[in-house]
Amino acid sequence: MIIACVHQLNIYCCREENLPPGTTFLQIEAKDVDLGANVSYRIRSPEVKHFFALHPFTGELSLLRSLDYESFPDQEASITFLVEAFDIYGTMPPGIATVTVIVKDMNDYPPVFSKRIYKGMVAPDAVKGTPITTVYAEDADPPGLPASRVRYRVDDIQFPYPASIFDVEEDSGRVITRVNLNEEPTTIFKVSEVFSL
């Protein structure tokens, strides 16, 4: 949780999307120099009161509903609103600060391969770097964002020997020979490709 003071006129807070309702993510703090002052807090912007709750005495800002990055119309998924701190028994005007909550995109969808099985053939004496086939996976996260980028690698845990012979180009998905081959002509290898984000 971040603590921000109301005397900071602009408060910026970056939080991941899809946090559950009730999550407290920011604490607003105001100081009143008057002795015995009772500071209270409230959201001044009515258009965001369905998104956030501001505890009147602690200044803790929490979510009333989960924020989804993809639901924002532009690339800068953010909500800006005003909060105020005031002395319950005082006559002075409230202290006002602008709060901007920037919603960070998270990886909502795992990539999905376009085929269940890819097959390729290569000469038993092929040289290192010989292309065999290309694998392809798509990600349903918004294009152009880091969460939508698909990178490929060979699963060297499940298939250690084939992984020592074959490789996959991280960005293109092109499967190639990792070494110069010297195999029997009828040898069949099973290689598991995995994607990472």
pLDDT digits (tens, 9 = 90+) for 87-133: 887 777 888 899 999 998 888 888 899 998 888 888 888 999 999 99
The Cα 76–Cα 101 span in angstroms is 11
Q: What is the reported pLDDT for 21? A: 96
The Cα 180–Cα 128 span in angstroms is 5
Q: What is the reported pLDDT for 84? A: 92
Instruction: Please state, rounded to an integer, the average pLDDT across all residues of the chain.
Output: 84
Domain with CATH 2.60.40.60 in the chain: 2-104, 112-196
Is the domain covering 2-104 a CATH 3.40.190.10 domain? no
Q: What is the reported pLDDT for 71? A: 85
Architecture of domain 112-196: Sandwich (2.60)
H helices then E strands: how many in the chain? 1, 15
Considering the entire predicted model, what is its pTM?
Answer: 0.65
Element holding 164 (H helix, E strand) = helix 160-165
145 — phi, psi (to 5°)?
-100, 155
The Cα 51–Cα 25 span in angstroms is 13
